[in-house]
Structure 1
Amino acid sequence: MNVSAIRFSVIMTAIFLFLTGCAEQEEKTETVVVRPVRTMVLTSSVSGRVRTFPGKVQASQQVDLAFRISGPLVEFPVKEGQAIKKNDLLARIDPRDYKTDLAHVGSSLAEVRAKLKSMKAGARPEDVKVLEAEVAAARARFHEAEQNFK
């Protein structure tokens, strides 16, 4: 073979490859494979088996309660979903500590009053004023303990 024939065949092969590479390709249509799915309807079983599943339950609405005094709750008469009005009892705090405190402050007030009464009979005016201030302070503590108890 001569050189011109080899050149001619190389050029023709290159043109052929170029033209086939630039030609429009036919679109391939993919067929969608439908895979069957096995389904079933769940019903309650009569066999008595219990199934538990982990999860969290959260309230849709929450209200934080705050009280003037602290203590353990002994009564909570409000039920979930119950409508409440102003001045309805929501919870009752254990009153034992506050009863004791009220009695203690009451006896302290009585003691200071008795001391003041005896001092008024024959004491100096400065001592009487000090005891009057103590009576006022004891009366304030008694009033505070009474409010806490209520």
Structure 2
Amino acid sequence: MAATVMGCDEAASPNTQARPVRTLAVGGSAEGETVSLTGQVRAKDQVSLAFRLDGRMIERSIRVGDVVSPGQVVARLDANNQQNALRTAQANLASAQAVLTQARLTYQRQEQLSKGGWATRARFDEAVQSLRSAEAQVESAQAQLHTAQDQLSYTVLSADGAGAVTAVGAEPGEVIRAGQMVVEVARQGGRDAVFDVSEQIIRTSPRDVPVEIALTDDPKVRATGRVREVAPQADSVTRTFQVKVEIMDPPEAMHLGSTVTGKIRLAPPPGIEVPASALTEANAGPAVWVVDPQSQTVSLRRVDVLRYDQAMVVISGGLETGELVVTAGVHALRPGQKVRLSGAAS
């Protein structure tokens, strides 16, 4: 009986028993990581309408959400000063034209007298000079009149294209400066999904990559986009780059201002992808168990990890294609232990 028990113990000894493990044959290069970003739908063309003059705004006929058409009046300035300047320019032009008429008549008389020998050459030259001076004064007065007319027209702000008003920057009664935004109009047409992207993604993402876009609150509403514009400089506060993605055939549900999620696949990293369950630790560093197919034993090998994920890790050094890596039971192994492959994959 004692001999039988001792024989059973030797058969069950961990030094001789092969431990079943699950392995994976290391394949080719890793796949690119999928990155998700949150952005906002904006109009492809968005303009800020502003006056060209300083003045007090007396009227703004539209509000946020209104749809404007080309040529529609948006706002008006107090135009009393411009109207007075226009009347002054008109009076100056009339005066200059009267002087020109008088100078032209004087020239014609001096021309006839000069031909008959009744006038001196100096009087004729003086008439010619007076006529030319009067013509120049009329041209100057006409230019001043055109300027005054333009200044008066600048007191009326009109929409230069169809679109929806997304913001207002001034209220009636305010004194505003030239160039100050009065209304912001999102023009009808294309739409962009705008994202704030980190420098690392900008550096590692492939060029002209398609972007999968979906509404955040309703992922069933989807569209495809193409990168249209990348900011050349990072934001001074967030240190991210603004990326505009043109939405191809945007669904009606993707309204302006909607929150969307964009997904892209980055370029494949230079490494080998293995399951995260294969990773263990050796000498305070990452390691994996490698199976020797000849002796059916395992050895612990240090590796360099490029990227961690919940399911997979990317190994950048320490493994070769075709080697067998233990993917299950790694915490119960020791160097040189015999193993039995269970569910090996290639």
TM-score bin, normalised by smaller chain: 0.5 to 0.7
Q: Percent identity?
A: 26
Structure 1 residue aligned with 2:142, among 130, 139, 144? 139
The C-alpha deviation readout for 1:67-111, integer Å capped at 9, x for no partner, is 233321110001122121221111111111111000001101111
Equivalent positions of 1:9-48 (< 5 A) are none
Higher relative helix content: 1
Answer yes or no: is 1:73 the counterpart of 2:76. no
Q: Which has more radius of gyration?
A: 1
Q: What is the TM-score with the length of structure 1 in the denominator?
A: 0.54
Structure 1 residue aligned with 2:94, among 106, 110, 116? 110
Tell me the amino acid that sits aligned with residue 98 of structure 2: A
Answer yes or no: is 1:119 the counterpart of 2:103. yes
* Structure with more contact order per residue of length (Cα contacts < 8 Å, sep ≥ 6): 2
C-alpha distance in structure 1 between counterparts of 2:100 and 2:148, whole Å: 22
Q: Which moved more, 1:116-125 or 1:127-136?
A: 116-125
CA-CA distance at 1:65 after TM superposition: 2.9
Q: CA RMSD in A?
A: 2.1
Give the paired residue count.
91
Tell me the amino acid that sits aligned with residue 129 of structure 1: R
Higher relative strand content: 2
C-alpha distance in structure 2 between counterparts of 1:106 and 1:128, whole Å: 21
Tell me the amino acid that sits aligned with residue 69 of structure 2: K
Tell me the amino acid that sits aligned with residue 126 of structure 1: Q
SS in 1 for 2:49: coil
SS in 2 for 1:91: strand
C-alpha distance in structure 1 between counterparts of 2:133 and 2:50, whole Å: 38
SS in 1 for 2:74: coil
